[in-house]
Structure 1
Amino acid sequence: MIIPWNDFAFPTVHFGTIYVGNSHEASNGSLYAIDELTGRLNWSYATNGGVWGAVAADVANNTIFTSVGNPSNAVVALDATTGTAKWTYPIPNSNGDDDPGSAISVSNGLVYVDSKIGSIYAIQESDGILAWQRATGTPNIGNVSSLAIANGVAYVGSLDTNLYALNAATGEVLWKTPTVKGIQSSPAYANGIVYFTSLDGNLYAVDAATGTIKAKLPLGASSFSSLTIVNGWVYCTATNGNIFGFSL
């Protein structure tokens, strides 16, 4: 299936269906559900705003969650089979570009999204009511990093230069680790270590419990790459055109 305009969101596969959103300055954007085997469109949902990040799926409740950019500025829960909206939570937008630009994370009944207004929102999966909100930047220094959640802790990068560790249930800041420049990377967790890249041109490995830097590996250029961990290796890219692989 050919999706109109630009496709910025990473596809998510859930029980034989591919969910992917699109965005364009001249389009209101949509979320598409496509049959994995045939490429046939099952349904589409008009989001009235760009879908910049991957959706998340709750298998048990047959629900998918997506963030939506300008002008909707919202998080939406949809029935995974029909595309019917279950609830919508609006994200505040003070200057016209504070919409959520990150992928959705779901854990223990909460839906998490980062936003360019500089705050993280945790929304109750069941009814779309806000559980907590935590500022990890400022409205002038927003965030596009998606959250990694492990052992009750949410890890997220900020363009204020810090990697934050938050209590996933309450939003309490447990620690933060500064870098030289902002973080657009979405972190990854493995074996008690959190990995992320920074616009300062390094890949960082920090202790998940304390935030202590365990390793700082130069990439030779700035990086806003998210991390992939496979078979004991962590992979990322940098703006110098290189792909890097480091042994854990």
Structure 2
Amino acid sequence: MPQHRALLIGASNYDMRGIHSLPFIPGDLARLGSALRRRGFKDVQVLSQLEGGKQLGANFIKGCVAGFLRRAGRGDTLVIVLSGHGVHAAGRDYLVPEDIHEDTHPFESGCVPIDWGRDLDETPADHVVFLIDACREGIEVASMSVAGVTQWGRQKTDAALRRKVAYVYGCSPAQLSLYVRDHEAVTDGVQCGTVPGESFSIFSRAISDVVTSHQGALALDVFREAVQERVSLLHQAYRKRGNPQLLRTITDIPHNAFTFLPAAAGRHEAATPPVTEYPATPSRSTSPWWSTPASPPSGLRPQPALTRTAEEDRLIPPAPSHSAAPGRGQAAGPVGLPPRLRGSSPGPRHLISRRRVLLGLAGTVLTGVGFTAWKVIDASTPDRQLWKFNTREFVQSSPAVAGGVVYVGSGDGKLYAVDAATGEEHWSFATGEWDASSPSDSAVKSSPAVADGVVYVGSQNKKLYAVDAATGKKRWSFATGGEVYSSPAVAGGVVYVGSRDEKLYAVDAATGDERWSFATGDRVDSSPTVTKGVVYVGSSNDKLYAVDAATGDERWSFATDFHVESSPTVADGVVYIGSYDAHLYAVKT
């Protein structure tokens, strides 16, 4: 039977000049290891503070990870945590081992590359998740001939492995993974579940808190969202400078397609940690990220308090015996998570304000798995749902509405046409054979475009389709060299769409013949925008492109600091585009 297993590795005891030791890491990993065991992980290995004062060397770390991957059972989900200092050099990310020597040259040759490609390819596990807390403050890299963390996370990942491996970084390029020192105290009036005198990594602590406080099963997307919000709260609570570190996930696994964390072991049994009162949280005025009602929403359980195990008591330094100043550090207690992440009851992921909800789409908003239509009415009215339509898989595609029909793609590989008024199916079109064991092979994540009675949509089977909007019959298909996540744009009888084969395509809307293709050098998940004879699109080579709509010639390109998967918007002579470098850009057309 498939199991959840974890390997937690922490490099903390550094001797090299210019690299600060990280004494909080053993406590971080002990806390997280205990939380994972309570979640039902069958095998949790914590490697930190080796006996006899031995240091964690590069070969030791590489061998431990390789062995862990090889020994996995078929169908297992593996979680590997790497905590310590990290550097980037020659296009690769590295974990700095404890025994690194100052005379090592080049410096990265003595480090651990975060790349277990062969072992990952051969492991029988279904999914492997790396949680990387190593883009750390406290390392002086000026004399090491490496880029430090400013390029952290930019290394290329093998496309085949991205289908089974997820990398979750504790920060984005040009950011640092911050930690709280034992002399730091929380802001007056803020309760965040920590105690005075604690020292911890914000990212690692956020992971532990989410694992402990949310008892239901978690998919990767919900887990990442919860950890990001917890990171933001801790950042604000301890008055850290700048913006909160932005988590980044690199994977081709549909984030909601597998259970990253199982439900807590024995959650309904007497052994479950005691349930305490609903946690207090910062007021709206002190917390810009989310606010919490004074009592639990109906149908959601309060969450258990964070409690330490004997192992954690041994490794986590106790709080000072003196009392904190009034209003400073708060007593250890339950962690406040956003209300939509408490409990495990299914339902809409976002709470709705009691003010009148102003949404377009002729009084309906579409969302969800399957997908659901909601009336635009006062939120105090309980009956919002008009109908819901079930598909066999996740719905990541954004619906298009035309002529009283809703068109949407599904993870089951189909494009659906659904009556906007009744929710009844008009037709469905299969882009490939659906297999429950590997539904993503033909998943339709692309959002459809409707023009002149034809629906255009991309599929992960590497094709762009034109489907008759009235009958659901295929007009034509166009093969690209990679999965089509991009959503097509139609203008002047031409369909423009990106592909993971690193190209932007222009395809004749009537015949399906290629007009031209434009190579960007990396995958194009961004959806193009066409205006005034120019196609604007982003690429994972970190650039925004302006391409002549008629010829496919490059007009200009604009470089950001990381992948551009955002889709551009053009208004008043300005292109607005987001980047994975955590910035929104405004660029002249």
Name the residue aligned to 2:470: 126
1:49 maps to 2:399: no
In structure 1, what is the Cα distance between the partners aligned to 2:348 and 2:401? Answer: 24
For residue 504 of structure 2, the aligned residue among 163, 181, 186 is: 163
Shift in Å, 1:30: 1.8
Alignment deviations for residues 70-127 of structure 1 (CA, whole Å, 9 cap, x no partner): xx32111111111111111112047642211111110111111101110011110111
In structure 2, what is the Cα distance between the partners aligned to 1:157 and 1:202? Answer: 14
For residue 551 of structure 2, the aligned residue among 210, 216, 220 is: 210
Name the residue aligned to 1:14: 361
Name the residue aligned to 1:108: 452
Secondary structure class of the residue paired with 2:389 = strand
In structure 2, what is the Cα distance between the partners aligned to 1:119 and 1:91? Answer: 8
For residue 586 of structure 2, the aligned residue among 211, 224, 245 is: 245
Alignment deviations for residues 54-78 of structure 1 (CA, whole Å, 9 cap, x no partner): 10111xx311111111xx3211111
Structure whose residues are more often strand by fraction = 1
Name the residue aligned to 1:185: 526
Normalised by the size of structure 1, how large is the TM-score?
Answer: 0.87
Alignment deviations for residues 31-52 of structure 1 (CA, whole Å, 9 cap, x no partner): 1111123351111111221111
In structure 2, what is the Cα distance between the partners aligned to 1:184 and 1:119? Answer: 14
Cα 1:57–1:158 change in 2 (3 A) is same
Cα 1:5–1:42 change in 2 (3 A) is closer
Shift in Å, 1:230: 2.2
In structure 2, what is the Cα distance between the partners aligned to 1:191 and 1:169? Answer: 21
Whether the aligned pair in 2 keeps the contact of 1:93 and 1:117 (CA below 8 Å) is no
Name the residue aligned to 2:404: 62
Whether the aligned pair in 1 keeps the contact of 2:400 and 2:406 (CA below 8 Å) is yes
Shift in Å, 1:197: 0.6
For residue 175 of structure 1, the aligned residue among 498, 516, 527 is: 516
Shift in Å, 1:13: 3.6
Structure 2, gaps ≥5 residues long: 1-339, 341-345, 351-358
Name the residue aligned to 2:425: 85
Whether the aligned pair in 2 keeps the contact of 1:114 and 1:121 (CA below 8 Å) is yes
In structure 1, what is the Cα distance between the partners aligned to 2:389 and 2:361? Answer: 17
In structure 2, what is the Cα distance between the partners aligned to 1:6 and 1:190? Answer: 35
In structure 1, what is the Cα distance between the partners aligned to 2:360 and 2:513? Answer: 32
Shift in Å, 1:243: 0.5
Cα 1:83–1:188 change in 2 (3 A) is same
Normalised by the size of structure 2, how large is the TM-score?
Answer: 0.38
Name the residue aligned to 2:495: 154
Name the residue aligned to 1:26: none
Shift in Å, 1:232: 2.2
In structure 1, what is the Cα distance between the partners aligned to 2:497 and 2:578? Answer: 18
Whether the aligned pair in 1 keeps the contact of 2:538 and 2:545 (CA below 8 Å) is yes
In structure 1, what is the Cα distance between the partners aligned to 2:580 and 2:566? Answer: 9
In structure 1, what is the Cα distance between the partners aligned to 2:570 and 2:527? Answer: 12
Whether the aligned pair in 2 keeps the contact of 1:93 and 1:99 (CA below 8 Å) is no
Name the residue aligned to 1:220: 561
Whether the aligned pair in 1 keeps the contact of 2:413 and 2:439 (CA below 8 Å) is no
Whether the aligned pair in 2 keeps the contact of 1:134 and 1:171 (CA below 8 Å) is yes
Whether the aligned pair in 1 keeps the contact of 2:413 and 2:459 (CA below 8 Å) is no
Secondary structure class of the residue paired with 1:200 = coil
For residue 142 of structure 1, the aligned residue among 454, 458, 483 is: 483
Name the residue aligned to 2:535: 194
Secondary structure class of the residue paired with 1:77 = strand
In structure 1, what is the Cα distance between the partners aligned to 2:571 and 2:512? Answer: 29
Secondary structure class of the residue paired with 2:371 = strand
In structure 2, what is the Cα distance between the partners aligned to 1:76 and 1:96? Answer: 16
The one-letter code of the counterpart of 2:371 is L
For residue 30 of structure 1, the aligned residue among 363, 370, 375 is: 370
Alignment deviations for residues 214-234 of structure 1 (CA, whole Å, 9 cap, x no partner): 001101111111111222211
Whether the aligned pair in 1 keeps the contact of 2:522 and 2:541 (CA below 8 Å) is yes
In structure 1, what is the Cα distance between the partners aligned to 2:504 and 2:433? Answer: 24
The one-letter code of the counterpart of 1:167 is D
Whether the aligned pair in 2 keeps the contact of 1:155 and 1:166 (CA below 8 Å) is yes
Cα 1:96–1:50 change in 2 (3 A) is closer
Whether the aligned pair in 1 keeps the contact of 2:494 and 2:509 (CA below 8 Å) is yes
In structure 2, what is the Cα distance between the partners aligned to 1:244 and 1:63? Answer: 35
Secondary structure class of the residue paired with 1:196 = strand
Range that drifts further, 229-238 or 147-156: 229-238
1:4 maps to 2:347: yes
In structure 1, what is the Cα distance between the partners aligned to 2:430 and 2:347? Answer: 26
Structure whose residues are more often helix by fraction = 2
State percent identity of aligned pairs: 31
Range that drifts further, 142-151 or 230-239: 230-239
